[in-house]
Amino acid sequence: MPIRNGSQYISGLRDGREVWYGGEKVADVTKFPQFEAAVRSIAELYDMQHEPDTRELLVCHSEEVGQEVGRAFQIPRTADDLRLKREAYFAWAQANCGMVGRSPDFLNVMLAALAAKKSFFAEDSAERANNVFEYYRFVARNDLFMTHALLDPQLDKGKLRNEQSDPAICLQVVDENENGIVLSGIKRIATAAPYADELLVWPFPPTFQRGEESYANVFAIPMNTKGLKTICRPSFSNIGTTRDFPLSSRFDEMDATVVFEDVLVPWDRVFVYKNVSLLNRMYRDSRMRELTAHQTNARLEAKLGFVYAVVQRLAEAQGMEGRPEIMEMLGEAAVKIEVVRSTTRSAEYQATIDPENGVLYPDLASLQAGRALGPIYYPEMIDMIRKMGGGALVQVPVSMDEFDSPIGSDIEKALRGASINGREKTQLLKIAWDLCGSEFGARHELYEKNYAGERGALLAGIQREYLRKEFHLGHFDEFLEAL
Ligand SMILES: Cc1cc2nc3c(=O)[nH]c(=O)nc-3n(C[C@H](O)[C@H](O)[C@H](O)COP(=O)(O)OP(=O)(O)OC[C@H]3O[C@@H](n4cnc5c(N)ncnc54)[C@H](O)[C@@H]3O)c2cc1C
Q: CA-to-CA distance for 477 and 469, rounded, in angstroms?
A: 12
Reference 237, options 97, 394, 37, 473; nearest CA is: 37
Residues paired with residue 481 on neighbouring β-strands, in sequence order: none
Strand 218-222, strand 228-232: pairing = unpaired
Per-residue pLDDT at 1 = 66
List average pLDDT for each run of 10 residues in the chain, which is 483 residues long.
92 97 97 95 98 97 97 98 98 98 98 98 96 98 98 96 97 98 98 98 95 98 98 92 95 98 98 97 97 98 98 98 98 98 98 98 97 98 98 97 98 96 98 97 97 92 94 98 97
- Bridge-based pairing of strands 18-21 and 228-232 is parallel
- Tell me the C-alpha distance between 134 and 269, whole Å: 9
Distance CA 336, CA 323 (A): 20
Distance 265 CA to ligand 1 centre (A): 26
Residues 6+ positions from 80 with CB-CB distance below 8 Å: none
CATH topology for the 285-481 domain: Butyryl-CoA Dehydrogenase, subunit A; domain 3 (1.20.140)
d(CA 431, CA 461): 36
- Closest ligand 1 atom to Cα of 157: 41
Give the contacts of 95 (CB within 8 A, at least 6 positions apart): 44, 45, 48
Q: Coil, helix or strand for 229?
A: strand
Say what the pLDDT of residue 239 is. 82
E strands of 326-444, at which residues?
Answer: 352-354, 359-361
For atom 28 of ligand 1, which residue has the closest CA?
A: 454
Q: In Å, how far are 5, 90, 355 from 121, measured between CA atoms?
A: 33, 31, 17
Q: How far apart are CA 172 and CA 186, in angstroms?
A: 9
Pocket test for ligand 1, best of 156, 186, 191, 299 (most atoms within 8 A of CB): 191
pLDDT one-digit tens code per residue, 226-264: 999 999 999 999 887 899 999 999 999 999 999 999 999
Taking CA atoms only, the protein residue closest to ligand 1 atom 30 is 154
Ligand 1 centre from 482 Cα, in Å?
Answer: 47
Residue ranges per domain, the chain? 285-481
Q: Which residues line ligand 1 (CB under 6 A)?
A: 102, 148-151, 154, 157, 189-191, 255, 443, 446-447, 450-451, 453-454, 456
Cα-based distances in Å from 324 to 321, 333, 335: 8, 14, 16
